[in-house]
Chains A and B, each alone.
Chain A
C-alpha cells in the first residue's frame, strides 16, 4: 500500500494520455521531416499537439517551441535571449527553480551580471523588490508563476508591467503552475513562459517554451530547421502527442481538478493544524491548489521522509532536483526561515487521484513519526 503525494516532483501519466501516445511508438513511427505518408502522419500529430498546448495557455500555435522539458525551456529562455541583447544584466528572483538559477549562474561565469530579486517572508516577489534591482543594463527578468516548494503564486502581471516600462524582457517559469491554475500567457505580460509535460500527467522528456512572436532567440540546440529554426533535433513525436493530450485534458478539467485539490488540501490542513508543532509555510499567501509545505520543528526533514517512505508515504523536502543534498531549501531561506528550521521542511503535493483516505494515512503517519522521534529525542536527552 503506497500513497504518492509528491506530484510536484512528477505525476503519473494519465491513462488517456498514454492511449494517445502509444500508437506513435510502433505504428505511426515516421519522422515528421520525411515527405512520405509516414512522415506526414507524424507531422500532423505534432501540429495537433502544438495547437493543444497553445490552447492551454491561450496563445497561437506558432508561439509554441517544443523542448525536451522544463529545464531546457528555462535554459533556452535565459541563454537564448541574453545573447541577442546588447546589455548584460539579468535579474532573477531568489526563489527560482534550480533550472533558472543554474543557467543564470553559468551566464555570470561568462561575463553576465546577475541580480537577485528578493522574496518576502510570505514567499512573494513584489514589483517593489524588482524595482530595487533594476539598473541601466538590465535586459531580462525571470520570476516564476508559482513556486514548486511552497506553491506561492506570483503576481507576474505586476512584475511585467514594471519590467516593460523599462524595456526589459520578462520570462516566467510556469512549469508548476500550468494545469493547476488558469494560465493566460498574454495576461502575465511575460515575453516567454516555460512549460513541462510531466507536471500535468503527461510524459517526461518533453516541455515547451512559449514565446512572443516578435522575440528573437538564439538556439540552444542547433541543427537545421526544427521548431522554426530555434530548436534542432528530430521531434519526440510520441512525447509531444502525449503533452498535447495532457494539456487538452488539463484545460478541460482545470476547474474540476482544482476544486477537488482545494477541498482535499483544506481537509489536510485542518488535520495538520491539529498536530502539535507543525506550521504551514506561507499559509495565507495565494498558493497552488495542491501544495503544502510544512515545518516540523525539532525533527530532521530527511529522517522524517525516510520513515514516511517506509510507511509507504511518498513526499519530499525541497525540490526533487535538489534531493539528496543536505542544504536547506534556498526558497525557505530566502523567505527568512532560519537554516535549522528550514531543514525540517516537508513538501506535500497532492494529485488529481488523491483522496481523503490518502490524507488520513499521511496525517496518521506524520503524527506517529512526530511522536516517536520526539520521544526518542527526549530519551536521548535523558540518557
Chain B
C-alpha cells in the first residue's frame, strides 16, 4: 500500500527510524533517563551522561574518529557556523582568507558573508558543469594567508560527491584547515577520518533517519584543531559548545548513526537500484537532463531538468509526489536554484528542475507510480507551453528577441 503523496524528498528531511524513536523514548519518560547530563550530584545525571557518551562513540564510529573529537550541536547549520566562525576567529592572526564553493549550503555561504562583513576575504569557487570542484582551480585559489577551505562532501541539490580525500591532501600539504559539510553524506558515503585529512566535519541527524534539532561537529585532535566557541555558558563539550545536552536527541542521533554504519552498504545498493529504475523510466523523454555527474554521485539523488516545463507548476501537477525544486531551505523563494546556476544551467532549466531523493522506506511501487505520474504530466504541461511549441517548430529560442511587458 503506497502512502500518498509519495515521499521522495529524503534530502530535505527523513522520518525518524522506528528503532531510533524507540531509543529516544527511553529518555522521554519519567521512568526513563530524563536527568540533566551535566548534573554530577545524582544518578539521574550520571545515567543521562552515560547515554550521551555511548551516542558520541556511535557517531565517532561511523566516521572512524575518536569520540572526543565529536562536539554536539543543534544541527548541521550550527555546526557549519561553528566551524567557519570558530576557525576564522581563532586563526585570524595567521590569515583572513577563506576558500569555499558557490554550491555550498546556505549555512556555509551565509556564515562566509558574515565573516566578510567582519573583514575576512572569501573566494567562492565555481564548480565544473559536472558539479565537481576542479583540484587545480582550488590549488590556484590558495594563498599564503588562507586559513580555511570549506567544501561539502555531497551536494544537497544535485548529489555530487566531491573528492574530499584529495582536497584534504592538498590543504594539509599547505598547512590550511579543511572543513567539510557532511550533512548529506554521513551514512550514505564512506567516511574515514583516520585516512581523510579533514579537520572539521559537520553532521546532521535528520538527514539519516534521526531527529531534527541535533547535529555534531567533528574537530580533529591530531593534528590539533582549535576553534573559538560561538555558544558560551557552562563550558559543555570541552568549552567548545555550551548548553544543556538534550539526552533524547543525542541518543537518537547515536542510534541513527549506528544503524547507518551497519546497513549502509546494503541500503545503498537497494537505493541505487531504485534510482536507476527511476531514471530508466524517464530518460527517454525528450529534452530531459540530469544535473550533476552521475559517476560521482550519491545513490539516492536524481536531479532532473525538464526543459520547457516550469518546475513549480510541475510540482503542483505532481501533487501525489513530495519532491522539491531547489533545496528545501530555499523552497519558499522563487529564485532559481543557485546551485544549478553555478553549474551553468540557464535560468529556465534551473527553474524547471526537480530533485528526487530516494530513501530507506521507498519501494519499487513508489518508483513505478512516480514514473507514470511524470510521463502523464510532462505531456500535459508541455502542451500548454508556448516555448515547447516554438522548440518543436525548430525555432532557436536563444535567437528570439523577447518583447518586454
Could you list which residues of chain A lie within 8 angstroms of chain B, going by C-beta atoms? 2, 4, 6, 9-13, 15, 18, 21-22, 25-27, 29-31, 33-39, 68-72, 74-75, 97-99, 102-103, 105-106, 196, 198, 203-206, 219-226, 232-239, 302, 305-306, 308-309, 313-317, 319-324, 353
Contact = CB atoms under 8 A, between A and B. Distances in A.
Contacts of A203: 28, 246, 248
Interface in B1-32: 5, 7, 9, 12-18, 21, 24-25, 28-30
A86 to B, nearest CB: 16
Contacts of A36: 5, 9, 315, 321-324
Given A36-B5, A106-B229, A320-B45, A204 B247 contact: yes
Q: Chain B's interface: helix, strand, loop or mixed, by majority?
A: loop
B211 A319 contact: no
Contacts of B74: 68-69, 72, 205, 221, 233, 236
Contacts of A226: 329
Contacts of A323: 38-41, 45
B21 A25 contact: yes
Contact of A74 (B233, B248, B249, B324): B233
B311 to A, nearest CB: 11
B232 A106 contact: yes
Contact of B249 (A2, A37, A72, A204): A204
Contact of A29 (B13, B75, B332): B13
A321 B38 CA distance: 6
Nearest to B9: A34
Q: Which 3 A-B pairs have the closest CB atoms?
A: A236-B213, A321-B234, A205-B246
Interface residues on B, range: 35 or more
Contact of A102 (B16, B39, B242, B315): B242
Interface in B287-334: 315, 321-324, 328-333
Contact of B244 (A18, A106, A204, A239): A204
B245 interface: yes
Contacts of A74: 233
A12 B30 contact: yes
A34 B322 contact: yes
Contacts of A38: 5, 7, 9, 322
Contacts of A29: 13-16
A283 B155 CA distance: 59
Contact of A221 (B13, B41, B77): B77
A219 B211 CA distance: 24
Nearest to B115: A222
Contact of A34 (B12, B30, B77, B231): B12
Contacts of B214: 205, 236
In this complex, the member of A6, A204, A219 whose beta carbon has the largest number of chain B beta carbons within 10 angstroms is: A204
Contacts of A18: 28-29
Contact of B315 (A35, A106, A316, A324): A35
Given A204-B249, A236-B74, A225 B329 contact: yes
Contacts of A75: 230-233
Interface string B210-237: 0111100000000000000111111110
A75 B12 CA distance: 28
A237 B40 CA distance: 30
B264 interface: no
B16 A225 contact: no
Interface in B97-128: 105-107, 110-111, 113-114
B39 A320 contact: yes
A71 B7 contact: no
Contact of B29 (A13, A99, A206): A13
B35 interface: yes
17 contacts: A22-B25, A25-B16, A27-B15, A29-B14, A31-B13, A34-B324, A34-B331, A71-B233, A71-B234, A71-B242, A71-B243, A72-B74, A222-B113, A233-B107, A238-B213, A314-B43, A316-B39
Given A25-B24, A33-B331, A222 B13 contact: no
A222 B111 contact: yes
A99 B323 CA distance: 40
B38 A225 contact: no
B243 A72 contact: yes
B229 A314 contact: no
A321 B13 contact: no
Interface in B231-289: 231-236, 242-249
A69 B212 contact: no
A152 B76 CA distance: 38
A322 B234 contact: yes
Nearest to A3: B42
A184 to B, nearest CB: 26
B230 A220 contact: yes
A174 B42 CA distance: 25
B231 A72 contact: yes
Contacts of B15: 25-27, 29
A321 B229 contact: no
B232 A103 contact: yes
B88 to A, nearest CB: 13
B34 interface: yes
A102 B240 CA distance: 12
B141 interface: no
B352 interface: no
Given A71-B233, A204-B249, A235-B212, A4 B107 contact: no
Nearest to B326: A35
A316 B213 contact: no
Contacts of B12: 30-31, 33-34, 39
A149 to B, nearest CB: 13
Contact of A105 (B24, B34, B232): B232
Contacts of B231: 71-72, 75, 220
Given A314-B35, A317-B41, A321-B233, 16 more contacts: A6-B36, A6-B39, A13-B29, A22-B25, A26-B16, A36-B9, A38-B9, A38-B322, A105-B232, A222-B110, A222-B111, A223-B77, A232-B81, A233-B75, A306-B41, A323-B41
Contact of B329 (A97, A224, A316): A224
A209 to B, nearest CB: 13
B153 interface: no
B366 interface: no
